[in-house]
Amino acid sequence: MRPRQWCCSLLDRYRPTSLAKQAVTLMSLFLLSAPVWGEGQSQSVMVDDILGRMSSANRELDYQGIFTYEYAGVLKSVKVTHVVRDGIAYQHWYYLNGPRQEAVRFSADGACSVPGDNLERSVNPTAVGGSDRLNNHYELQLRGSGRVADRSVWLIHIVPRDMLRYGYVFAVDQQTGLLLQSLLLDSDKRVLERFQYMDVSFAVAPDVAEAVLARIESGEVATPQCLASEQSANTIQGWQAAWLPPGFALASSEKDDRGVETLVFSDGLSVFSIFFDPTGNQQLPEVQAQRGATVAQMIRIEAAGRNYLVSVVGEVPVETAQRVAGFIKYGSD
């Protein structure tokens, strides 16, 4: 396999083909340039409340609808059913275009952190716990109200304070707190990924809910393992990320059946992963690839008598991924 083909396959793995972060028809330029609504402390309190409601929506709500997701010229349409039973959130996704696909998720905290699953994080951004964690690295702006899927929404712009991360525009349902639209923007305010509900209903018939639960329990559809919450160190089995963008911390880690170890880092909004693969083709040179907002930076490292392919993959600018990769080391030296 050629280097760029391998790197692109890693991007496909990071964005599983059985999944479709959120297309959206182009959001009007008005949304990107509208004046900030509200001033001072009242705006800060309101933004914090909106983000808090958005974070809890998937732990509390039953809903079903259709959303679209666009990245790098690819457009997916997905029918989703989401139900909460005994504190556990269950959801079923059925793809309406392309190959026939479906996926299921369940989690006790409303979020399912699957390495590389940036669509999941787009649709269910439960890592956003309010403005306190984000304020040091983003400017949070309430830009007024709008309308998505025939529902009234609050428009929140999340503007990075440095060049190490991307910006976002969120449209949050005013009544329920569910995220109905998301745009991911680069430093030039170009839209790299778009997600939007086209239709949503906050009522799920009992027979439909039972069908979703039955699909999950039957094992007919693969269900990724949800990962543990935030860890305390930036290491796994001797590997260390010696430099991280300010605000990023280890969110989860895992090791799969092939021996590939993964570290997942987040600043509460943006996410990237580091893969340590002892099984890859060691003749591949160091390469880089990008698809939409997702970048993959691959390097080769010899450690503990073995050769590893180490890849930084995530929704961060290229320069950020390069610097993270340049400071990865094994052991304490």
CATH classification of the domain holding 49: 2.50.20.10
Do 42 and 153 have their domain in common? yes
Q: pLDDT grade, residue 41 (50/70/90)?
A: low
Q: pLDDT grade, residue 144 (50/70/90)?
A: very high
Question: What's the pLDDT at 42?
Answer: 73
Do 323 and 257 have their domain in common? yes
Question: What's the pLDDT at 274?
Answer: 94
Give the pLDDT mean for 79-102: 90
Give the pLDDT mean for 146-155: 97
Which position has the higher pLDDT, 112 or 297? 297
- Closest by CA to 20, choosing from 77, 105, 98, 73, is 77
Please indicate, yes or no, if residue 227 is contained in any of the structural domains.
no
CATH code (residue 258): 3.30.200.100
- Closest by CA to 149, choosing from 91, 66, 34, is 66
Q: Does the structure show a pLDDT above 70 at 30?
A: no
Domain's final residue, options 163, 186, 218: 218
- Min mean pLDDT across 50-59, 146-155, 228-237, 291-300 is at 228-237
Domain range for 307: 235-330
Do 212 and 243 have their domain in common? no
In the chain, the DSSP E strands lie at 63-71, 74-85, 88-95, 102-107, 138-148, 151-160, 167-173, 179-185, 191-201, 235-236, 239-241, 249-255, 261-266, 271-277, 287-291, 294-303, 306-314, 328-330
Question: What's the pLDDT at 147?
Answer: 97
Please indicate, yes or no, if residue 229 is contained in any of the structural domains.
no
Q: Does the structure show a pLDDT above 70 at 62?
A: yes
Scan for tokens 């990769």, then name that residue.
325
Do 239 and 202 have their domain in common? no
Question: What's the pLDDT at 13?
Answer: 53
Taking the C-alpha atoms of residue 18 and residue 100, their distance in angstroms, rounded to an integer, is: 9
Domain's final residue, options 188, 218, 248: 218
Q: pLDDT grade, residue 313 (50/70/90)?
A: very high
Do 212 and 80 have their domain in common? yes
Do 137 and 256 have their domain in common? no
Q: Does the structure show a pLDDT above 70 at 229?
A: no
Q: What is the DSSP letter of 43?
A: H
Q: pLDDT grade, residue 206 (50/70/90)?
A: very high
Do 175 and 265 have their domain in common? no
Question: What's the pLDDT at 177?
Answer: 94
Residues whose CB falls within 8 Å of the CB of residue 225, separated by 6 or more in sequence, listed in order: 114, 254
Please indicate, yes or no, if residue 157 is contained in any of the structural domains.
yes
Q: Which amino acid is at 149?
A: A
Please indicate, yes or no, if residue 310 is contained in any of the structural domains.
yes
Q: Does the structure show a pLDDT above 80 at 190?
A: yes
Do 259 and 185 have their domain in common? no
Please indicate, yes or no, if residue 154 is contained in any of the structural domains.
yes
Give the pLDDT mean for 32-60: 72
Do 145 and 282 have their domain in common? no
Residues whose CB falls within 8 Å of the CB of residue 273, separated by 6 or more in sequence, listed in order: 14, 115, 116, 262, 263, 264, 265, 312, 313, 314
Contact 43, 37 (CB under 8 A): yes
Question: What's the pLDDT at 236?
Answer: 61
Taking the C-alpha atoms of residue 333 and residue 321, their distance in angstroms, rounded to an integer, is: 22
Do 203 and 324 have their domain in common? no
* % the chain with pLDDT above 90: 41
Do 80 and 187 have their domain in common? yes
Domain's final residue, options 178, 193, 218: 218
- In the chain, the number of structural domains is 2
Scan for tokens 């007024």, then name that residue.
144
Please indicate, yes or no, if residue 5 is contained in any of the structural domains.
no
Q: Does the structure show a pLDDT above 80 at 22?
A: no
Question: What's the pLDDT at 251?
Answer: 84
Do 266 and 297 have their domain in common? yes
